[in-house]
Amino acid sequence: MTTPCAVVILTCIAAAVFGSGSEYDVCKTRSLKASFTFGGRDVFCSPTAIRRDTAGRIYILDSLNHRIVVCNEQGEVIDHLGMIGSGPGEFLEPMDLDIGPSSRLYVADTGNNRIQILDSCGAPICIIPVGHPIRALSVAPDSTLYAVSSPSIGRHLIDVYDDGGNRLGSFGSFLIDQWRRPYISDALNRASVNVSPSGEILVGRWTIPQIARYDSCGNLLSSISVRGPEVHDNRHWFFSMAQNRICADDRLQITDPTVQDFINDVIAACCDGQPHGVIQLADVDSYGGRIYGLVRGVLYEYDSSGSFLHRYALLRDTGEPALIHRIWIDTDGTLFGLDMMHTYRCYIYHIPA
């Protein structure tokens, strides 16, 4: 059973997270309609990341097909990179992708517990073994690599590497530590990461609506708490996730009173005392000095100080809601959105100036 001290610590964390930030303003709600869409279930199987290089080639990480799909600007497939496996240039359910200097591809090879660096044709350059599943990474203009760590192996949320694979350090704190429940702890501490053009590192918590801003040295600059109608829309998600994660450990049973107490304690701390679940802050990015957080297919926009600007409902080209799970914004304001669970399509938008 969890100790009173642990519950107090978690409750204090939740109060800090939910007790600050910009308030949602319904008058600032807008919509963005996709100007172009491509892909689908006949092309992808759970696309999890997308990038465009300076030559206009679009790279989509096709996770459950264990490969990178290369498309032209018309969305036509022109190449496939990689295949299932554990050798150099092979992948096992990769989860994230970025493009660094010299058009190098940085891939979170999640199922193989490593990061791979490839050239633009998919030839291996460097393999970085990390010892745990990497679900998110981002590369700075100077080739510094930032990857989300795991509480099962480290003390900090973000690990930092050079382009040779050497670990330079780490920063950021986990929401909670292992607490002898590794499945719950890893799920709570998942995050997305993106390096802004100014060099700031943006970290979006996967299970709480918070964007943290760090400088290149890992110093926390500020935090933005995302507030809006999506915050409590995902009812019972967290409770179900907690049950499934615990049951995945055959040493534990959900009928065990201590396990029930643990679930209740985490819900009380991380859901602001409400049993209706935790949203997924699915992705973060920046453009033109503004910061964006993606929550259940809705894009929240903030200025550099963290003040709320707009909430954009992302729509398909047909005008229906697009259930976008991952985003990436290019330097010209083009927003690429991926539906990685339903249509398996890529939607292209243009951020207003």
- In this predicted structure, what is the pLDDT of residue 13? 33
Q: For residue 150, what pLDDT is reported?
A: 77
The full set of domain ranges for the chain reads 4-350
Please state, in angstroms and rounded to a whole number, the distance separating the CA atoms of residues 261 and 263: 6
Average pLDDT over residues 331-337: 96
pLDDT in tens, 57-79: 999 999 999 999 999 999 999 99
Q: Which CATH topology does 4-350 take? A: Neuraminidase (2.120.10)
Q: Are 46 and 63 in contact (CB under 8 A)?
A: yes
How would residue 344 be classed by pLDDT, with cut points 50, 70 and 90? very high
pLDDT digits (tens, 9 = 90+) for 108-146: 999 999 999 999 999 999 999 998 889 899 999 999 999
Q: Give the per-residue pLDDT at 296.
A: 80
How far apart CA 40 and CA 36 sit, in angstroms, is: 13
Q: Residues 270-303: pLDDT tens digits?
A: 444 443 334 468 899 999 999 999 988 899 999 9
Compute the 3-state secondary structure of the chain and give helix, strand, coil in percent, each to the nearest 5.
15, 35, 45
Best CA proximity match to 108, nearest among 85, 127, 84, 83: 127
| pLDDT at residue number 210 | 85
pLDDT band for position 249 (50/70/90)?
Answer: very low
Q: What is the CA radius of gyration of the chain?
A: 20
What residues have CB less than 8 Å from 229, skipping those under 6 apart? 24
Q: What is the mean pLDDT of residues 10-28?
A: 46
In angstroms, the CA 128 to CA 49 distance is: 19
pLDDT of residue 173: 80
| 3-class DSSP assignment, residue 242 | helix
Question: What secondary structure does DSSP assign to 278-324, as a single string?
Answer: ---EEEEEEETTEEEEEETTEEEEE-TT--EEEEEEEE-TTSSBP--
